[in-house]
Chain A
Amino acid sequence: MTRDSAALGSARPGSAAPARTLGSAPAPLLRRIVLQGKYETVTMLRNGEQLILAVVLPLLAMVGLTVTPLLDGFGASRINVAVPGILALCAMSTAFTGQGISTGFDRRYGVLRFLSTTPLGRTGLIAGKILAVLAVLALQVLVVTAVALLLGWQPDPLGWAPGLVLLVLGAAAFTALGLLVAGTVRPEATLAITNLLWILLGALGGIVIPAERLPALLESIVQFLPSGALGQAMREAFLSGTVSPVPVLVLLLWTAIAGGAATRWFKWN
């Protein structure tokens, strides 16, 4: 209808006593982010399915790769070839699948919208999620490393520094991809996509099984995937203590492109 506004006089009842103690200052930025990171970390660790994905399946894959001849012929022991890829798989589990699914459902339930109205804000929320991914990843690295050392893993000591940096870079690329999926499709679709890609990339994406062992067609593709690039770079670091620029560049590109796309298309509601 097109009826004009019918104002009924401007008299308004008198205001109550002026505000006394209302209103608060925000907690400092760093404290807000750390709190959110802690909260999300605890939520992730309490989630049974996520724990299976984050710890149990990578450990099973590691054992599987040491008792089968899949990784024979690389000039190093099976466990030495397997562990760097398993660490890369952990980053994909937590940053892409776990974080993607939880963000997707948080979006569905309006959690992202509510928290973005608190002093935390959208930036703090994303920063908190990144912090939680890094915290869970750190726990995964500790557990996987401990079990791997028991199984006889002998990493190149020079591999730790570049290896951990690469792992963080891989987590950044996968976090950006997870946010892109979670922010653009329904949570059920996010669940399906991120789980399916975890299986596909885990098996055929060059992350735990080196590209050379894959069919010729895949071999040329996987080095440009974040999974293949991270797996390859991690193996190089921990087997020989070296880093080559191509996989690093591939990971940086994925981070930039997926991050840009997520910033552009992420829907908060």
Chain B
Amino acid sequence: MVRSPESPVLSISGLVKDVGPLPTLDGKMLRVVSGLSLVAERGQVTALLGANGAGKTTTIECAQGLQKRTHGSISLLGEDPDTAGAALRARVGVMLQDGGLPPSARPIPLLKHVAGMYQDPWPVGELIERLGIDSFSRTSVRRLSGGQKQRLALAAALVGNPEVLFLDEPSAGLDPQSRQLVFELISELRNRGMGIVLTTHLMDDAQRLADYVYIIDAGRNVAEGTVAQLLQHPLPPEAGEQHIRTLLFEADPGLDFTGVLPDGVNVTEARAGSYAATGALTAADLAAITAWWAARGIMPRSLSLEARSLEDVFLDISGREIR
């Protein structure tokens, strides 16, 4: 096998996964992933962003060899995960959504046990210190808090010093301090050249961590790009009342803004004196509205500008209805 530094760590093409037959579907199969493709590079964090049930976990479990795919091709470090052996598994670290740690185990013996499966593991003492595990090293897994469990599961995924790291919902159950710690470590590992693939339904995770984001919905790709690229995603034609930016301000009630702002920017007065101007606001629009206030001696009591978040993009793309 030829390995160049440019070859992606993971490449999925046209992945289809059917599960079942399910009694709830009259014994029919359910298609949970239908034609999904993605590429993850070394030294990057690649995020699969989607709502619960979008098929994120199924996709990465197919990539890990935990589930057999129905159709499509997967190349993990140049090998097919379904037929790969211990040599490939040693180069891949996995943190499962439910942790996968035995409840009666204590952190240090457990990490030492997993470390024994590798020829040249990450020194357990170093990992324990790095992830703050020493503070609960004598507690059994079942008594750990959600954040402690996640940190231990991350340590167990890293103990083989992998080239590829899979993280399924890494910030689930993390308190703010643990989250900071985990996010810093993930960034550091990325800088060391690890290829990191994570799933999340939290826009904030993707926005803070990801170099490249795949938005998936109902088992298929709906958009992809860097966070910056996704934020410039054009509005869907059916978006209608949706917006790119919102200018919120409070002033005297009943003001008439007709003719002040260009077409496409709507001003609404949600409560008396509380206005929202939404649309593709530009700096010129801001200048126009403040000049209009100045000419009339209006001084807003409050003023704020909300930029479009990845969440807006996500909702624009995947629809706002609750499923």
A111 near B101: Cβ-Cβ < 8 Å: yes
How many Å from the CB of A114 to the closest CB on chain B? 3
Report the interface size class on chain A. 35 or more
List 25 A-B pairs, Cβ < 8 Å: A6-B222, A8-B223, A8-B230, A12-B41, A12-B211, A15-B44, A19-B42, A20-B193, A22-B162, A24-B91, A24-B160, A25-B120, A26-B89, A32-B86, A32-B116, A35-B117, A47-B104, A109-B99, A109-B100, A111-B101, A113-B100, A114-B153, A118-B90, A119-B117, A121-B86
With beta carbons under 8 angstroms apart, the residue of A16, A27, A114 that contacts B96 is: A114
Q: How far is the CA of A22 from the CA of B159 in the complex (A)?
A: 11
B118 near A16: Cβ-Cβ < 8 Å: no
Instruction: Please provide the chain B residues from 75 to 127 with a CB less than 8 Å away from any CB of chain A in the complex.
Output: 85-87, 89-92, 94, 96, 98-105, 113-114, 116-121
How many Å from the CB of A70 to the closest CB on chain B? 38
B222 near A3: Cβ-Cβ < 8 Å: yes
A23 near B162: Cβ-Cβ < 8 Å: yes
Contact with B along A21-64 (1 / 0, CB 8 A): 11111110101100100010001001100000000000000000
A15 cross-chain contacts in B, Cβ below 8 A: 5-6, 41-44, 193
A113 near B102: Cβ-Cβ < 8 Å: no
* Secondary structure of the A contact surface, majority rule: loop
Q: A32-B86, A43-B102, A117-B64 are in contact. List 18 more A-B contacts (CB 8 A).
A: A1-B319, A3-B236, A5-B223, A9-B229, A12-B211, A16-B42, A19-B193, A21-B161, A22-B161, A22-B163, A22-B194, A23-B90, A24-B161, A25-B90, A32-B117, A114-B156, A116-B66, A119-B87
Contact with A along B282-323 (1 / 0, CB 8 A): 000000000000000000000000000000000001110000
Which residue of chain B has the shortest Cβ distance to A7 in the bound complex?
B224
List the interface of chain B (C-beta within 8 A of A). 5-6, 41-44, 64-66, 85-87, 89-92, 94, 96, 98-105, 113-114, 116-121, 153, 156, 160-163, 190-194, 211-212, 217-218, 220-226, 229-230, 232-233, 236, 317-319
Question: How many residue pairs at the A-B interface have CB separations less than 8 Å?
Answer: 179
How many Å from the CB of B244 to the closest CB on chain A? 15
* Secondary structure of the B contact surface, majority rule: loop
Task: Please list the 5 inter-chain residue pairs (A to B) with the smallest Cβ-Cβ separation, ordered nearest first.
Answer: A114-B100, A110-B100, A8-B225, A16-B43, A19-B193
A29 near B92: Cβ-Cβ < 8 Å: no
B318 cross-chain contacts in A, Cβ below 8 A: 1
A16 near B66: Cβ-Cβ < 8 Å: no
How many Å from the CB of B211 to the closest CB on chain A? 5
Q: How far is the CA of A110 from the CA of B149 in the complex (A)?
A: 13
How many Å from the CB of B155 to the closest CB on chain A? 12
Instruction: Please provide the chain A residues from 81 to 131 with a CB less than 8 Å away from any CB of chain B in the complex.
Output: 105-106, 109-111, 113-121, 124
Q: How far is the CA of A20 from the CA of B217 in the complex (A)?
A: 36
Instruction: Please provide the chain A residues from 178 to 219 with a CB less than 8 Å away from any CB of chain B in the complex.
Output: none
B92 near A117: Cβ-Cβ < 8 Å: yes
A26 cross-chain contacts in B, Cβ below 8 A: 86-87, 89-90, 117-119
A12 near B86: Cβ-Cβ < 8 Å: no
Centre residue among A15, A120, A268 by max chain B CB count within 10 A: A15
How many Å from the CB of B197 to the closest CB on chain A? 13
Q: Is A245 located at the chain interface by the 8 A CB criterion?
A: no
How many Å from the CB of A203 to the closest CB on chain B? 30
Which residue of chain A has the shortest Cβ distance to B230 in the bound complex?
A8
B225 near A9: Cβ-Cβ < 8 Å: yes
A121 cross-chain contacts in B, Cβ below 8 A: 85-86, 89
With beta carbons under 8 angstroms apart, the residue of B102, B104, B212, B319 that contacts A12 is: B212
A43 cross-chain contacts in B, Cβ below 8 A: 102, 104-105
With beta carbons under 8 angstroms apart, the residue of A16, A32, A109 that contacts B101 is: A109
How many Å from the CB of B146 to the closest CB on chain A? 15
Q: How far is the CA of A5 from the CA of B194 in the complex (A)?
A: 27
A110 near B96: Cβ-Cβ < 8 Å: yes
How many Å from the CB of B193 to the closest CB on chain A? 4
Q: How far is the CA of A23 from the CA of B194 in the complex (A)?
A: 9
Q: Is A220 located at the chain interface by the 8 A CB criterion?
A: no
